[in-house]
A and B are shown apart, each in its own frame.
Chain A
C-alpha cells in the first residue's frame, strides 16, 4: 500500500511538473518585435527607413560608388596596394573576372537585399489601415524609386536578372524566378509610378523627390538610347528641377564642394546616399570606400587601394586653349607622378604641365596639396610597382572633417555622401541627348556650363595655384558634327565624373566598339608604366556585362523543367 501510494504520489508530482513546465516552453523572442507591432504609421516609417538604410549597408564590392565596377573596370584607376591584397579586384583591373568573384556576388546580394526590404515594406504599407493615404502614397513613391534604382544597377551589371516584386515577396520567403525576361520595362514602370506619387519638395532633404525620380528615368532612357524622350524629360529637369529641399537644381560654384562633407545636399544634389557618423557608431558611413585611402602616413592611413591610372591623370592635360587633347596625344609626354631624384615632397615636372584644374580635385599627386593634409609623402603610395604613383581623392575626407572614423580602428569611413546622380551628370546627359538628336549648339552650351564651373576652383599652394591650371570653353568648331560633339561630350564625362564610378557604365552604353577602343588604348598605354597590364586580357564583347554569381546559380538550383533558374552570361 505504502509502495503504491509512493508511486501515485510520484506520478502526480510528475504530472504537475509536466503541466507547469510545458508553459515554460513558450518563450517570446528576446531582443526583437513581431510584425504586428509594426502595423501602424510608425511601423511604416521604421520599415521605410530601413529600406533607405540598405543603401548604406554596402561592402567594398557592393558599394553604389562603383569604384571597382565603374572606375577600375573603366580604366580610371587600378587596384593599387600590394599584388595579393583584395584579390577580387585583380580580376577587375585585368578584365578577367571569374564567376565566383566575391565583388560580383556582393553586388548581387546588396541590390536584392534592398529589393527585399522595399517589397516587404510595400506589402506592409498596403496592408495597414487607418494611416493617412497621402503619407502612404508618398512613401510608396519613394520605395518604387528605390526598387527601380536597385534593379537598374543589377540590369547594368549583370544584364539578365530575375524580377521579384511585392506580390511574389508576399508569397515566398525564398522566391525562385528565372532570369529570362528583360526587366527594363518593369524598371520604367516603377519609376513612372514613383514620379506620379512623389512630391516636389520632400519631408527631409535625404528623401527622394519627384525630380530625382525623373532624373533616374532619364538615365534609364539614355541607357537604352531613347534620346528623344530623354531630351524632353531632361529639358524639364534642367529648367524646372528642384532638389528634395525645394532648391532649384544648379551647379555649385566650386567643383570640389561636391566632395566636401560640409557642403553636402546642395543644389547639385539630385540623389545621394546619406552617410553619417554619429557619436555611437560609424556603420552608416560609407564602408564601401573604406580601403580607398592613401597608405601609411597618408589620410586615413589605410590600405592604398583605388589608385588613379596614368591614362586618367593625363587625360586632364590641356592644350593652349585649355581644351583637352581628344586625340589621345596626352599620353605622349606624361605627368610622371613619381619622385624626382633630389626633390623630396615636391615634383616640379608634375606642376608645370598645363592641366584642367579638376585633375587635382580628382587625384592626389605629389607636389600638390592634398586638402588640408599637406603635401603627399612618398609612403602614401603603398607599392608603386603595383599601383603607380597617384592617389584617390574625391572619396577622401579632409583632415578637419568631424564626421569621420575608422572601422574597428582600421579602415576609415566618413559621412561623405555617395552621389548617385548629381546635376552635372544630368546636364551632360542633356548635352548628349541633344547632340544625338542634332541639337549641337545646346549640347555645346551645356558642356561649357560644366567647364566654366571647373575654372572657378583651383588647388592653391602658398597663395598661388599649385600647378599650371587652364580650362577653356569649347568653341563651336568642336561641335560641328555629331561625331565631334559626341567625342567632346564623352571626354567631358571622363573628366567631370572621373573616379565617381561612372566610366565603365558610360563605355557600356556607348557600345562595344567605343568601349573596346577606349579600353584597348588604356591598357596599351598603362602597361608601359605598370607591368600587370601587360597580362591583361583583351577586351571582348561578353565582358560588357559581369558574370552572374556562380554561388547564386547553385543556390537557386534547377527549375522544374530541369534547367537552372539562373542562366550564366556567355563565355563566363
Chain B
C-alpha cells in the first residue's frame, strides 16, 4: 500500500482528523485483507535498515513505505518533503529512524492506529486551507488485480504533481480538475507501479500486476509465521502457481519435481494415492510426512480428499530445526498447507475448468498366438533333447507332434459352457486366432477427465469468506474405471471485537471410485499378460471366453473382469476443518485456540461375479460390503509474543499445548455367497445372499492419544544474526507410562551475511544468508496402538477347534496374539542441516543449497523373535539406527528481454540411505516385496533399505566344459566344480542339463550355488531425483514445461516372471522369442528355451533388475489470456484458456510399462517393498483444454 503522501492537498477543505477518521474505515478494511494474505507481520517493532545520504524526506518516506507496512500522511503546505536529510540505520525501528532523520527539522511524527505515521509541523497543526484549484478534466476508473478482483486502496497520482486519490472499496476512483495531458501513476504495495497517459480518455480501467515476491515473503512455519528472510531451518516454499500448472486430482502429483528434497511417486489409476517422501527414508515404519492443513495436523496420506484448487500456499519443513515444533510427529517432515481465504471487497466469482483425454501408453511387447505356440513347441522339444528323452510335444489345443497343429477353433472343453460341438460352424470361426488377442488393448480405453471449480470469495471490515465447489470426474484408462469427487469448502473469519477474531475452515469431500490401485498378480494389468494370446475375448456365442480353454493356464479374461466389476465402488467422505479464536491480550501477546477435526467415512461394496470361463473358477459369486469411520481431533492453544528490545534485539516467543486423538472409530464388513441374480444390482444386499459360508466382522480402529507442550524462541540481532530454539515435549498412549514422554529440542542459526558492510561492495548480490540447524524429532508411528500391552484374543481361523467333530461348529479359543513391551520408547531423529539462500542480480537468480545428515536412533522395529517365539505379533522395540545424508539443490533464473519473459528452474534432491543397525543380532534382515519365489527386498545393517536380493548372473554356461571349468574358490570345494543351484554333491551334477542356463556367482566361494550365495543385486533408491521447470511468456501468451526425473535407481521387474520364463501358460515376451540362449548365439539374455527349466526362475536373480532412471516431460502447457476488451464485452473480468499435454514422453531404458514404480505395499511399512514392479497401472498420456474465468 504505497500511497498518498500527497492526498492532503485534496483535503484542504476538511480537517486532518476528519480525514483520518474517514481513512480509518478504509484502513480497517485493508488490514483485514492483509491478515488474510500474510497473516499479519506488523507490530510496533517493525525494524529496517536504511542508508540515505543527503537525500530528500520524500525519498526517506518512500524507502520506509517500501520496506514496511507504514504509510505517511502530511500536508504539503506544511511539510517540505524536499528537505535534505541523512540516515544510517541498521535494523532500527521506524521510530528511531524517523527521530534521527527529523532531528533538526521543524517536524515531528506521531504514529496513528493502523500504521499511519502523521508528519506534523511542530506546534499546533493548522488545518490546510484552500487548494490551488485548476480547471481541468475529470477522470474515473476502476482498478482490479489479475484475477479481476477490485483493488481498493490503490494510490492514483497525477504524475509530477501531488494531486492524487486512493481507490474506494470497489476499486473505483474519481479524479477531478486534472490537466488534459496528465499521466496517472497507479501504485499498490506488492504490485508493479503503472503509468497511464490520459490523453482524451475520461475512463481509465486498469489491471495491476503482481510484483515478484522476494525475501520479504511471509511463510507459515508451524503455529505461526515468519519472514522468509528470517528462516534458519530448512523450509521449502512451494510456488503454488507452478503447482496449478499440472492439473491433477491431488496436489501430491502436482508437487512432483517442484521441491528439492521431496520425492513424489504417483500412480496411474484415477484418484489413486500418491507417495510423498521428504529427504529419504528415515525408518522402517511409516515414512509419510505429517500434513498440517490450516493448523490441523493429520497423518492421513490420502491427498485426493484435499481439493488442490483450495490451496493457497504450501510450505515444507524438511529438517529437524524447522519441524521439531511438531515434535513427535515430525521426523518424516511436515507439509503445511494453508487454504484460500476471502480477499477483497466485492464478491469475486471465479470458474476454472478443464477437460482432458488420457490415452493408454504402449504395452509390453508380447507374442502373437502363432509365435506363442511355436515357442511352447521349441521349449518342449528342447526339454526332451536336453534330458536325452525324445518326447513329442503335446498340448490340449495344438495336438501332439513335432509341429503344433493350429485348430480352427479354440475348444473350451470341460466348461459347462456356452456352446457344444453342434455350434461349431465355419462362420463361427474365431478369426482373431492367428494374431491372437491383445488383451491390454481390449481392456483399455481413451479416458476423459473433467474438472469444474467455482469459487465465491470476498471480505469486508468484519468478515471474510470464501466458498468453493469442485466437481472432478476422471475415467481410468481401463474399461469402466473411474474416480469422481465432489468437494465443498467454506472458510470464514469474523472480527467480533477489535481484539478478537473467530473463524473456521471447513471442507467436505465426497468421492466415489471404481478402480484398482494395488500392484499384484491378480490385477487387470497382470491378467493382460497372464492370458494366453490364442484365447479370444468372446466365444462364438458372444459370451466371455477364457482360460477354460484347456491348456490356457489360469489367466482371467481382463475384459470380463472389468465388465463384471463395473458396478462395484468405494465411497469416501472426508470432513476436515477447524474453528479458531484469536485474541490480542496485549499488543505483543496473542492467544490462539484452534480445534480441528478430521473425520473420514467409507463405504464399499463389490460383487465378484461368476466367471465360468476361468479355469479356476470358484463357481460361486461373492458379495462383499463394508463401512467404517474414523475421527482425529486436534486441539491446539498457543500464546505468541513478539517485541523488539533496544531497537536491535528482536524477540519472538511462542508457547503452546496440543492434544490429539486419532483412531477413534470402528468398521465392519461382511461377505455373502451364491446370489441368484448377480446381474441385478438391486438384489445386492447381504440378505439376498446365501447363508452358507457367510462372514461378518467388525473392528476397532485402535485409539491413540497424544499430548504435547511446546515452545519456540526466535531471536534476531540487528536483523543480521538469527537464532531459533524450539523444544517440544510429547506424550503418546502407545508407550507404557514410564516411557510415555519424549523431549524434542532443536536449535538453528542464520547469518545474513549480505547485511555485513564488507559484503556491501558486492552489488550483484541482493541477499545471502547462511544457516545451520540441529534438532531432534520423534516418531511413534507404529501400527500398534498399545505396544506396551501383551494381548490375548480370539480369531476363528487360529484359535478355534472343532472338538466334537461336528464339521461345522468350533469351540472358541484364545491365544497370545500380541507380545507387549513396556520398555519401548520414542524413536528419535537427529538432523543436522546446513545451507545457504541467495538472490543475486536484482532477483534474476536465486539459489538454495542445503546439506543434511539425518540419523534415526532407537528406531522402532518389530523385534526379531525367531520362530521359536510362536506366531504372536512381535512388539516394537528400539533396536535400529538409520542414517540419511543428502543434498537439496534449487536454482531459479528469471528474466525479461523486451516483451519476452522467461524463467528456468532446476531442483535436485539426493539422499544416501544406510541402515546402521537393525536389531540386536547383526544378521537380522527385514524382507519385503513378496513374490512367488519369496521376498526380493532385503533390508539389513550396513546398506540402504529395501535392496534387491538374489543371485548374480555371471553369464551362461556355454558348454559342458564351461560347467566343469567353473571352480570353487575356497574351503572343501576349492578347485572343484562349482555345483549349480541346489546341488549338494558332485554325484548330482549332470553338466549337459546346465548348458544354456544362467551361471550364478558363487558369492561365498564355497563351490556350491545355494541360498548363501544370494547377494545384493540392485538398489531401488535413486542417486537423485529432480525437476526442471521452464516458463516463457510473451504478451498474453504463456508457455510452460515441467520435467521430472529419477536417476540411478533400479527396478525389480517382477512381471518378467510371467513373460520371460517357463512359468505359467500365459503370454510371453518378444525378448523370450528373440533373446533366449542358443548355442553360439550372441546377445542372449535369457536361458535356453527349456520347458522344464524351473531353476532359472526359481528365485530372484539379476536378470529381473533393471535401470529405472527416467526423465519425463510431465506437462507442457500453452496459455492465452484473452484481450480485456473482448472479455469485458462478454461480461467477464478476465479469461484465460490453455492447452496442455501431460506425460508426453519418457526417456528411460526400463522395459516395463512405467518406470515410476512405487512401493508394492502402499501401507505403513511400504518402504521395505520399494521398487518392485508387479505390473502397475501405468501413467497415461493426457491432452487437456482448460479455461479460467473471473466474473
Contacts and interface: CB of A to CB of B under 8 A. Distances in A.
The residue among B700, B805, B864 with the most chain A CB atoms within 10 A of its own CB is B805
B868 A164 contact: yes
B770 to A, nearest CB: 36
Interface string B725-760: 000000111000100100000000000000000000
Contacts of A201: none
A385 B815 contact: no
Given A46-B814, A53-B801, A85-B1064, A297 B416 contact: yes
A477 interface: no
B55 interface: no
B608 interface: yes
Nearest to A283: B797
Nearest to A50: B813
Interface stretch (A6-14, A68-76, A232-240): A6-14
Contacts of B807: 261, 264, 275-277, 402-403, 415
B1062 A83 contact: yes
Interface stretch (A113-121, A433-441, A480-488, A501-509): A113-121
A117 B661 CA distance: 35
A105 B1094 CA distance: 20
Interface residues of A, number: 135
Contact of B554 (A32, A261, A303, A528): A303
B586 interface: yes
Given A84-B1061, A380-B414, A34 B789 contact: yes
A219 to B, nearest CB: 22
Contacts of A552: 866-867
A405 interface: yes
Contacts of A532: 1092, 1094
Interface string B1038-1070: 000000000000000000011001111100000
Given A84-B1057, A84-B1064, A50 B799 contact: yes
Given A31-B699, A206-B804, A284-B801, A174 B387 contact: no
Given A83-B1092, A277-B807, A378 B797 contact: no
Contacts of B925: 551, 554
A117 B871 CA distance: 9
A519 to B, nearest CB: 13
Interface stretch (B10-18, B159-167, B344-352, B615-623): B615-623
Contact of B812 (A30, A33, A49): A49
Nearest to B376: A385
B1131 interface: no
Contact of A409 (B391, B608, B1062): B608
B393 interface: yes
A353 interface: no
Interface stretch (B279-287, B470-478, B1010-1018, B1027-1035): B1010-1018
Contacts of A277: 693, 807-808
Given A2-B586, A33-B793, A296-B414, A116 B786 contact: no
A279 B692 contact: yes
A371 B808 CA distance: 22
A176 interface: yes
Contacts of A557: 920-924
Given A284-B797, A303-B554, A377-B413, A276 B802 contact: yes
B531 to A, nearest CB: 14
Interface in A172-195: 173-177
B890 interface: no
Contacts of B786: 27-30
Interface string A532-553: 1011011010110000011110
Contacts of B620: 406, 409
Contacts of A38: 792, 814
Contacts of B103: none
A13 B637 CA distance: 10
B707 A21 contact: yes
Interface string B600-629: 000000001000000111111010000000
A205 B705 contact: no
A144 interface: no
Contacts of A10: 591, 639
A25 interface: yes
A531 B589 contact: no
A422 to B, nearest CB: 14
A296 B1065 CA distance: 14
A330 interface: no
Nearest to A261: B807
Contacts of B589: 3, 6-7
A384 B394 contact: yes
B977 interface: no
A409 B731 CA distance: 45
Contacts of B396: 378-379, 384
Contact of B693 (A173, A274, A279, A527): A279
Given A91-B1098, A174-B868, A295 B639 contact: no
Interface string B505-526: 0000000000000000000000
A280 interface: yes
The residue among A50, A261, A552 with the most chain B CB atoms within 10 A of its own CB is A50
A98 interface: yes
A84 B1063 contact: yes
B702 interface: yes
A207 interface: yes
B418 interface: no
Contacts of A84: 932, 1057-1058, 1061-1064, 1094, 1097
B548 interface: yes
B637 A25 contact: no
Given A301-B616, A538-B988, A17 B657 contact: yes
Interface residues of B, number: 138
Interface stretch (B1-9, B900-908, B978-986, B1112-1120): B978-986
Contacts of A105: 867
B359 interface: no
Contact of B802 (A3, A30, A98, A275): A275
Contacts of A35: 790, 792, 816
Contacts of B814: 33, 38, 43, 46-47, 49-50
B620 to A, nearest CB: 7
Contacts of B696: 280
A442 interface: no
A34 B550 contact: no
B810 A83 contact: no
B1063 A83 contact: yes
Interface in B614-661: 615-620, 622, 637, 639, 655, 657, 659, 661
A334 B1133 CA distance: 91
Given A50-B813, A283-B797, A29 B791 contact: yes
B503 interface: no
Interface in B561-611: 585-586, 589, 591, 608
Nearest to B701: A30
Contacts of B1061: 84
B700 A30 contact: yes
Contact of B805 (A2, A3, A264): A264
A540 B868 contact: no
The residue among A35, A37, A261 with the most chain B CB atoms within 10 A of its own CB is A35
A531 B387 contact: yes
B1011 A550 contact: yes
Contacts of A409: 608, 618, 620, 622, 673
A31 B785 CA distance: 11
Interface in B365-411: 380, 383-384, 386-389, 391, 393-396
A103 B1076 CA distance: 31
A379 B816 contact: no
Given A47-B814, A96-B982, A274-B803, A556 B921 contact: yes
Contact of B924 (A28, A56, A276, A555): A555
A108 interface: yes
5 contacts: A2-B586, A29-B786, A56-B801, A85-B1064, A377-B414
